[in-house]
Amino acid sequence: MLCNICQKNEATVHLTEIVNEQVTELHLCEECAQQKSMQMEQQFGISDLLAGLVDFDKQSQAQEKITAECLNCHLTYKDFKKIGRLGCSECYTYFKKYLASLLKRIHGSNQHTGKIPAKLAQVPKQKRKLPVASLPELRDKLQKAISLEEFEEAARLRDQIRQLEKQQEKQL
């Protein structure tokens, strides 16, 4: 199938546009698809999408006062609101309290759950053997969670440490 725009190259990207409740299918080559994506980004920037997902108007006064800045890449939260992209992986740490509700709304959760390999998915959840961290590792993680005031994570780690200690006592 040829590209709908240039009519020269093989269409490798298939795009469905819905404008005013009208469905249009486009079959594009890679070059035309890149041009189309740039046009769409200029027309509807990612920041506009994020602004639509999060009610910035209600929080605008509080958000304008945010002077948080990533110490790694020096991106400010105000800049993030404008461009809709974080500057580096450290930004997630520095803007964590501001991003939690946004990520939960976009992804349905603010915690990555990942995928399960096909072979492991066939095994019932109770029988899955996941790698168990050692007590010193868990205690280090517990101290970090407490220092970062992540008390739910700290409680989970505390319970995991207690369970591991009980298992070790039974083995002795």
Report how many domains make up the chain: 3
CA distances to 3, 16, 25, 40, 67 from 22, rounded to whole Å, are 20, 10, 10, 17, 43
Residues of the domain holding 39: 1-43
- Model confidence, pTM: 0.33
CA distance 90 to 21: 40
Same domain, 60 and 92: yes
Same domain, 59 and 39: no
Same domain, 3 and 39: yes
Are the C-beta atoms of 67 and 76 separated by less than 8 Å? Answer: yes
pLDDT at 31: 87
DSSP, collapsed to helix, strand or coil, labels residue 15 as strand
Same domain, 106 and 143: no
Same domain, 157 and 136: yes
Residues 6+ apart with CB under 8 A from 40: none
pLDDT per residue of the chain (172 residues) written in tens, 0 to 9: 888 888 899 988 887 777 777 888 888 888 888 887 766 655 555 555 555 545 444 455 455 446 778 889 988 888 887 787 888 888 888 888 777 777 777 666 766 666 777 776 666 655 555 556 788 888 999 999 999 988 999 999 999 899 888 888 887 6
Same domain, 60 and 106: yes
Domain membership flag for residue 121: no
Domain membership flag for residue 119: no
